[in-house]
Structure 1
Amino acid sequence: MPRRYEDIYPSLPLLTSDGLDHVSAAQLMAVHYFRADPDEMPEDVFVEHHVLLNLKAEPHRVINTRNGEVRDFTFSKNDIIVTPAGMRSGWRWFAQSDVVVITLDPTQVQKFAETELGMLLDPQQLGDLPLFSDADLCAAGVMIRDALEANDMTSGVMFEALSRVFLVKLLQRYGKRRPEEVALSARFTSAHYNRVLRFIRENLERTISLDDLAREAGMSASHFSRLFKDTVGTPPMQYVMAYRIEQALEMMRDPTRRLGDIALSCGFADQAHFSRSFKQVTGETPRKRRAAMS
C-alpha cells in the first residue's frame, strides 16, 4: 500500500485536516502543518501531488532530491515547491521548518477542475515546479492552517471554503491545461467542454439527452459521444448522472432541505429514482449518507 507523505515525516504535524471526515474538501486535499528540527526525509514516490508552502521568516538551507537530481538552495518565506505525483523526492533541511504541506489526490483534482472550473487538465496536472514564490498562495495556505487551529464548530466550514479557494488559485495559475491539439485532435476543445458543462448546470432540474449535449457542442450525437468519452474519460450521460449526484451531495449538507426536493432540483423523476441512482453511484442510500454527515 503506498505510503502517505506524513508517514515518513520525522515528526508529527502540529495541525492536520485528517479528522475532518464529513467535509467534502477533505476528499480533495489533506493539510498538515509542521515545525520540525533540522532533519531529513528519505527519497520516496507518492501517488499524490505535494505542495510545500514555506512560512519561515528567516531564509535557510534546504536540499531536495528530485528524480535523482540534487538541488541545494536557500528556502525563503513564501517560497513554494510542487512535487507532482509519481516523482521520487527526498529532503534535508538545516534549520527548524515552518511549513504547510498540502497533499492533493489527482483523481479528485481532475474532477474538481472539470466540474468546478471547466478546465481540461493535462494528465500530469501539475508541472515539476521545484521552487517559486507566491505570497498570495502562501497566505491562502496560512488561512487554512488557522482554520484548523481554531478547532471549533467553524473549522470544518472554513476549511471547506478556504481549501476550494486555494485549489482554484493553484490550478488557475499553475495547472497544466491539456493542449488543444491533444484534446481529440483539436476537435473537442476546452471551449466545447465549457459550453456543455454550462448547459448541464443551467438545466440540471430537467431531463438532459445526448442530443441536447451534442447540439450544444455543435456535433452529431455519435461523434460527440465518442469525442467526449475520449477526452473526459466517461460517456456523456454517465458524466451527467455523476454531476447530478455530486450536486445532490452538496445540497444534502443543508439539513433543512428535504430529499424529495433535492431529487427534483437535480433532475430526478422522484425520490425513488434519486435513491436508486444515488446508491448505484455511491454504494449507499441518500438517507444513510445524510445521517453520516450529521
Structure 2
Amino acid sequence: MCEWQLSWKLKKDTLVSKDDWIAIVPRRYAEIYPSSPLLNSYEMTHVSAAALMEVRYFQAEADTMPEEIFAEHHVLLNLQETPHRVQNRRDGEMRDFTFHKNEIVVTPAGMRSGWRWFAKSDVIVVTLDPQRVEKFAQTELAMLLDPQQFADLPQFTDPDLCAAGVMLRDALENDDLTSGVMFEAMSRVLLVKLLERYGQKRPEDLALSASFTSDHYGRVLSFIRANLDRTITVDDLAREAGMSPSHFGRMFKETVGETPMQYVLAYRVEQAIDIMKDSARALGSIALDCGFADQAHFSRSFKQITGQTPRQFRAATTQ
C-alpha cells in the first residue's frame, strides 16, 4: 500500500511493527468474500486497459468477511429486495443495521472494515483505484480531492447510483464489444455521480490567497482543452492562473503532483488514447490533433507515458 494512502489513517507518532504492517497489506474483496463473484469485470476481454473501475456481482448465503484494510475504495450497492440485518465494523466501531434495497455503503481506501450478513446477499461491489480517481477528478471534473477522496458513508439511500450499478452489471453478462463499450461509458457515469455526491474536495478555506485553488486549476484545464492542438508553455498557463511562471510552477506541482509540462504531456496522451478508439483515425492525424509536433514525437511521448508505442497500444486494445 502506498504511504500516502495510509498517511491520513495512521498517527504520525504511531510505530507499526512488522506483524502489524503485514496485517494491513491491502486485500481484494474477491480474495476474502465467501463465494466467487457471479460476474466480474476483471475477466472481460473487451474492456480497455484504462478502465476506471472493477465491478463484481455477488450472491452469497449468510456469512462473514474478516476485517481488512484495502488500498482501494469500495462501494457496495445493495440489490436485495428483502430488508435484512447486517453488521459492519469500520475502524473498530460496530454498526448493526437493517440493509434496504438501493442503499449503498462507501468505504474509503485505508479504512479497516469487516462484515457479517444474516441473509442471502445480492450486491454489486465497485472497486476504485485512488490514483485513477484522482486523475479522473482532475482532468474530467476540474476537481481537486483531499487525500481521503470519498466521504466515509456507512449507509445511504441512492436509487440512482444503484440503477447505474445495475446497468454495469448487465453489461458484464455478455463479453462482447458492444457490452465493453457500454461498460466503459457507464463506468464514467457512475464515477461522475460518486464524485459529485460523495467526493471530498480539498478545503479551499485552508489555503492562502496566493495558493493554487480549484478555480485556478479549472481555468488552466480549460485553456489546455481549448488549445490542445497547439504549443502550450508554462508562461501560457501561468497567465491563465494569474501568477508568475515560477510561482505557478511551484504551486501546480505541490497541488497536482506533476510539473505543468508533465501534466500537459500526460493529458495529450490521455486524449490521444480516447481518440484511438476510433480505428479509422490515422495515428498521424491524432498526433497533430493532440498537439504533438509529428508522429515520431507522438510515438516517443506515448511510449514514455504508457510503456508502449501507439501502434502496440492500439493493437492490444482492439484484439
Q: TM-score range by the shorter chain?
A: over 0.9
Task: For 2:313, give the aligned amino acid.
Answer: R
> Is the CA contact 1:184–1:231 (under 8 Å) kept in the aligned structure 2?
no
CA distance in structure 1 between the aligned counterparts of 2:158 and 2:179, rounded to whole angstroms:
25
Q: For the aligned residues, what is the CA RMSD? A: 1.4
Please give the alpha-carbon distance, in whole angstroms, between the structure 2 residues aligned to 1:91 and 1:64.
5
Distance 1:58 1:39 in 2: 17
* TM, length-normalised to structure 2: 0.89
Question: C-alpha separation between the residues in 1 aligned to 2:105 and 2:198?
Answer: 12
**2:286 counterpart residue number:** 262
- The answer for the alignment partner of 1:85 in structure 2 is 109
Residues 1:176 and 2:200 aligned together: yes
Aligned with 2:55: secondary structure? Answer: strand
Matched, 1:187 2:211: yes
Aligned partners of 1:284 and 1:150: how far apart in 2? Answer: 29
Q: What do the CA deviations read for 1:93-115 (whole angstroms, capped 9, x no partner)?
A: 01000000000000000000000
Maintained 8 Å contact 1:113/1:121: yes
- Aligned counterpart for 2:175 among listed residues 151, 162, 179: 151
How far off is 1:28 after superposition? 1.7
- The residue type equivalent to 2:308 in the other structure is E
- 1:73-128 deviation per Cα after TM superposition (whole angstroms, max 9, x unaligned): 00001110011101111000010000000000000000000001110011110011
Distance between the aligned counterparts of 1:26 and 1:222, measured in 2? Answer: 33
For the residues of structure 2 that align with 1:180 and 1:24, how far apart are their CA atoms?
35
Match of 1:105 in 2: 129
Moved more, 145-154 or 75-84: 145-154
Deviation, 1:34, is: 0.6
Match of 1:122, SS? strand
**Native 8 Å contact 1:20 1:26 kept in 2:** no
The residue type paired with residue 119 of structure 1 is M
Q: Report the TM-score when normalising by structure 1.
A: 0.97
Aligned to 1:227: 251
**Do 1:183 and 1:231's aligned partners in 2 also have CA atoms closer than 8 Å?**
no
Q: Given the alignment of the two structures, is residue 14 of structure 1 paired with residue 38 of structure 2, yes or no?
A: yes
Please, which runs of 5 or more residues in structure 2 have no aligned partner?
A: 1-24
Residue 151 of structure 2: aligned partner: 127
Identity %: 71
Q: Return the offset for 1:185.
A: 6.0
Change (3 A) 1:121 1:134: same
**Residue of structure 2 in register with 1:67 after alignment:** 91
CA distance in 1, matches of 2:75, 2:218: 28
Q: CA deviation at 1:239?
A: 0.3
CA contact (8 A) 1:25 1:164 kept: no
CA distance in 1, matches of 2:44, 2:209: 42
CA–CA distance in structure 2, aligned partners of residues 147 and 183 of structure 1: 43
Aligned counterpart, 1:201: 225
Deviation at 1:242, TM superposition (A): 0.4
Partner of 1:29: 53
Amino acid at match of 1:206: R
Shift in Å, 1:188: 1.4
1:170 is displaced (CA, Å) by: 0.5
Supply the distance in 2 between the matched residues of 1:183 and 1:157 (Cα, whole angstroms): 41
TM-aligned CA distance change 1:291 to 1:198, over 3 Å: same
Hey, what's the Cα distance between the residues in 2 that align with 1:21 and 1:183? 45
The answer on whether the counterparts of 2:73 and 2:130 sit within 8 Å (CA) in structure 1 is yes
The counterpart of 1:42, out of the listed 55, 66, 77, is 66
- How many aligned residue pairs are there? 294
The aligned amino acid for 2:107 is T
Question: Alpha carbons of 1:26 and 1:258: their partners in 2 closer, same or farther (altered >3 Å)?
Answer: closer
Q: Is the 8 A contact 2:44 2:172 kept in 1?
A: no
CA distance in 1, matches of 2:53, 2:298: 28
Pair 148,281 (structure 1): closer, same or farther in 2 beyond 3 Å: same
Contact residue 125 and residue 176 of structure 1 kept, 8 A: yes
Distance 1:20 1:244 in 2: 27
- 1:141 correspondence with 2:169: no
Q: Aligned to 1:284, which of 304, 308, 311? A: 308
Cα 1:156–1:48 change in 2 (3 A) is same
Alignment partners' CA distance in 2, 1:89 and 1:288: 40
SS in 1 for 2:51: helix
* Per-residue deviation, residues 220-254 of structure 1 (Å, max 9, x unmatched): 10011111111111111100000001001111111
1:50–1:82 Cα contact (<8 Å) kept: yes
